Amino acid sequence: FSIRSRKGVGVVPPVDPNNQDTSILTGSIDISKMDMYPEDDPRIFSLNGAFNVGNRGLVEFIEVFKNDVEYLHTIITATQEKSIPSPGKGSMIYFDGLIVAHSNEAEWNKFKSDHTNEAILDRIVKIEVPYCLELDEEVKIYEKILKRSNFNAHIAPHTMQVAAMFAILSRLSASAKVD
């Protein structure tokens, strides 16, 4: 699996509402081959969409609810019928993969409150991922990020702990149980 070389992991970024091109999801037609083959010939398909790349793997929708609902209908056929529409006039293409979508809470609540989204909501399993609230774990996250970076400046002692403490304290909310 590799996101960089597009093997087994398909990524769908949020798209412009004025130009929601489904070729990002299902691939496109190679126009250069249209003069050699008929319109419905599978050899003219360029199966480079996220569902094609993520077949037998993972398809990730980034900020899924920023897209129009019509753009998300491919999720319904992928989950219900285990197939996706092919580019052009071809038949459906088999899909067997895991679809992971993430969003913020406000967009999820807005999407969930619209009763016209019922078909997609029936196929969603919501998994809440809370913020990290343990200091040691937050420090480990920062250290992991710094190890991968090219940042070579000196970091003062306890800087990571203070930054982690600030991040954790900013995530907490006031409790009514405190005296």
18 within some domain? yes
Query: Do the domain assignments include residue 166?
Result: yes
Please tell me the total count of domains within the chain. 2
Mean pLDDT of all residues belonging to the chain: 88
Single out the residue of 126, 122, 76 nearest to residue 100, CA to CA: 126
Reduced to 3 states (helix: H, G, I; strand: E, B; else coil), residue 142 is helix
Whether the per-residue pLDDT at 179 is higher than 70: the answer is no
Q: Which domain holds residue 160?
A: 135-171
Whether residue 76 is found in the same domain as residue 102 = yes
Asked if residue 63 and residue 106 are part of one domain, the reply reads yes
Over residues 2-22, mean pLDDT: 80
User: Does 53 fall in a domain?
Assistant: yes
Q: What is the pLDDT of residues 134-177, one digit of tens each?
A: 999 999 999 999 998 888 888 999 999 999 999 999 988 888 87
Q: Is 164 inside a domain boundary?
A: yes
| Lookup result for tokens 């909501």 | 121
Q: Torsions phi, psi of 10, nearest 5?
A: -100, 135
The reply to whether 96 falls in a domain is yes
